[in-house]
Amino acid sequence: MFVHPDEDPRTDGGFRGERDVLVGYLNDQRLTLELKCAGLDAEALARRSVEPSDLSLLGLVRHLAGVEQYWFRQVMAGQKIRRHYRSEAEPAGEFTGAFADPALVADAWATWRAEVAFAEELVARAPGVHVTGTGGDEPVELREVLVHMIEEYARHNGHADLLRERIDGRVGQ
C-alpha cells in the first residue's frame, strides 16, 4: 500500500447531503492522485507507460490541472482562458510536454493546486449544486460537473496505479 491506513488522509465516506457527498468524493480522488505520485522524482514522474504511449504520471497531473481549469473556470465561471499545456498546434501538450525536469514538475503541481483551489472556492460559494454554468457549449449544472470530475479522477487514478506499479512495484488503494 502507498500509505498505512492510520495515516491515509482520505475519508471513508460518511458524508451527509448531496454537496458534501460530491465534494467529499472528489477531494478523496484528488488526494489519491497525490498519493500515487508521492515520493517520486522528476524522472520517475515523467516515465512513459509503454511505447508508443505518452502517458506518464506527470502528464496526468498536467492533464488534470487542465480538466479542473476547463470545467470550473471556463464552463462554470464563464472565464475566457488560455488552456494550460495545450494549444491548437499541440492538443496533447499535457502529455507530450511532460519531461523529466524538476521545474516542469514544480510548475505542474503548482498549476494543479491553483486550479483545485479555484474549484474549491467556486463550489464553496455556489448557493447549491443546482447552479448552472454557461461557459460551455450548453448549460450544465454544478452537480453534473462534480460527478464528471469524480469520474475523470477515478479513471486517471486507475492509470496512475498502473504507472506507479511499473515505476517501482508499489501498489495501493
Domain ranges of the chain: 13-168
pLDDT digits (tens, 9 = 90+) for 140-163: 999 999 999 999 999 999 999 999
What is the assigned CATH class of domain 13-168?
mainly alpha
pLDDT greater than 80 at residue 11: no
Strand, coil or helix: 132: strand
pLDDT of residue 1: 47
For residue 141, the surrounding DSSP H or E stretch is strand 140-141
Amino acid at 135: G
126 C-beta neighbours (distance < 10 Å), count: 15
Rounded to two decimals, the pTM is: 0.92
Polymer length of the chain: 173
